[in-house]
């Protein structure tokens, strides 16, 4: 069966060990988490976790069933790309030289990124968008000298 990236959105009780339970049940059964985002919801008693994983449909169904067994997991939604909006954020520290600065500024504008700080030898750029957009932007910026990056996981919300 074809392997596909999947996005799970979980509504969970906001307790200290919930994340360990979720990562434990996936890791213990050999399923990898590709990305992970956690934060509280409008209600302080619950959190929302968005995690992405890759697998064929049978594997994804098994993961969903295992997640549903956890007492602190209140709801599991398997979000597809079509029925949800996805976004991710990246921070990128770039080398700044006299030579690359004009090109860099142009790229920031083209990709609707934002410069958070600009120093004499480096700058930090904030970028958000769909995961594949982030990928392609990073590929482009790489040619100009990326020093370090950090990415949030994918977040997604049903349309």
Partner 1 sequence: MKLTGSQIFVKSLQEEEVDIIFGYPGGAVIDIYDELHKSNFRHILGRHEQGVVHAADGYARASGKVGACIVTSGPGATNTVTGIANAYMDSIPIVVFTGQVPTTLIGTDAFQEADITGITRPCTKHNFLVRRVEDLAETIKDAFNIARSGRPGPVLVDLPKDVMQAVTDYKPVSRLSSTDPAHKPDLTRLPDVLDLMSVAKRPVILLGGGVILGKASDELREFARSVRIPVTSTLMGLGAFPGTDSLWLGMLGMHGTYFANMAISKCDVLIAIGVRFDDRVTSKIDTFAPNAKVIHIDVDPASIDKNVRTDISIISDCRPALQLINNMIKGKRFAVPEGQHDDWLRQISQWRSEGPLTYCHSSDVIKPQFVVEKLYELTQGNAIIATEVGQNQMWAAQFYKFDHPNTFLSSGGLGTMGYGFPAAIGAQLAFPDKLVVDIAGDGSIQMNIQELATAVQYNLPVKIVILNNGYLGMVRQWQELFYEKRYSHTDMTFQPDFVRLAEAYNVVGLRATRPEEVEPVLRQGLSTPRTVIMDFHVSRQEGVYPMVRPGDSIAEMDLGGREMIN
Q: Quote the least distance from Cβ 74 to partner 1, whole Å.
A: 9
Q: Which is nearer to partner 1, 70 or 89 (CB)?
A: 70
Site mask for partner 1 (CB under 8 A), range 1-20, x = bound: ----------------x--x
Q: Is 65 in the site for partner 1 (CB under 8 A)?
A: yes
**Binder of partner 1 out of 11, 33, 54, 72 (CB under 8 A):** 72
**N-to-C CA span, the chain:** 28
Name the residue among 78, 108, 65 with its Cα closest to residue 7.
78
Q: Is 58 in the site for partner 1 (CB under 8 A)?
A: yes
Binding residue count for partner 1, defined by CB under 8 A: 16
Pairwise CA distance, residues 40 & 46, whole Å = 6
Calculate the alpha carbon distances from 144 to 94, 108, 109, 149 in Å: 8, 12, 15, 14
**Binder of partner 1 out of 61, 80, 110, 143 (CB under 8 A):** 61
Contact 69, 82 (CB under 8 A): no
**Binder of partner 1 out of 4, 19, 21, 118 (CB under 8 A):** 21
Contact 54, 95 (CB under 8 A): no
3-class state of residue 80 by DSSP: coil
Binding site for partner 1 (CB under 8 A): 17, 20-21, 24-25, 28, 58, 61-62, 65-66, 68-72
């Amino acid at each position: 069966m074809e392997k596909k990236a999947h996005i799970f959105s979980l509504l969970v009780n906001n307790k200290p060990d919930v994340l360990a339970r979720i990562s434990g049940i996936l890791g213990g059964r050999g399923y990898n988490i590709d990305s992970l985002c956690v934060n509280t919801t409008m209600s302080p008693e619950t959190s929302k976790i968005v995690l992405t994983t890759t697998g064929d449909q049978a594997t994804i169904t098994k993961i969903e069933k295992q997640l549903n067994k956890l007492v602190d997991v209140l709801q599991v939604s398997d979000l597809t790309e079509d029925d949800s909006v996805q976004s991710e954020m990246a921070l990128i520290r770039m080398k700044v030289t006299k030579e690359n600065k004009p090109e860099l500024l142009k790229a920031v504008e083209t990709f609707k990124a934002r410069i958070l700080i600009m120093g004499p030898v480096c700058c930090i750029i904030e970028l958000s968008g769909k995961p594949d957009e982030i990928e392609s932007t990073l590929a482009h910026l790489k040619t100009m000298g990326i020093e370090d990056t950090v990415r949030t996981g994918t977040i997604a919300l049903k349309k």
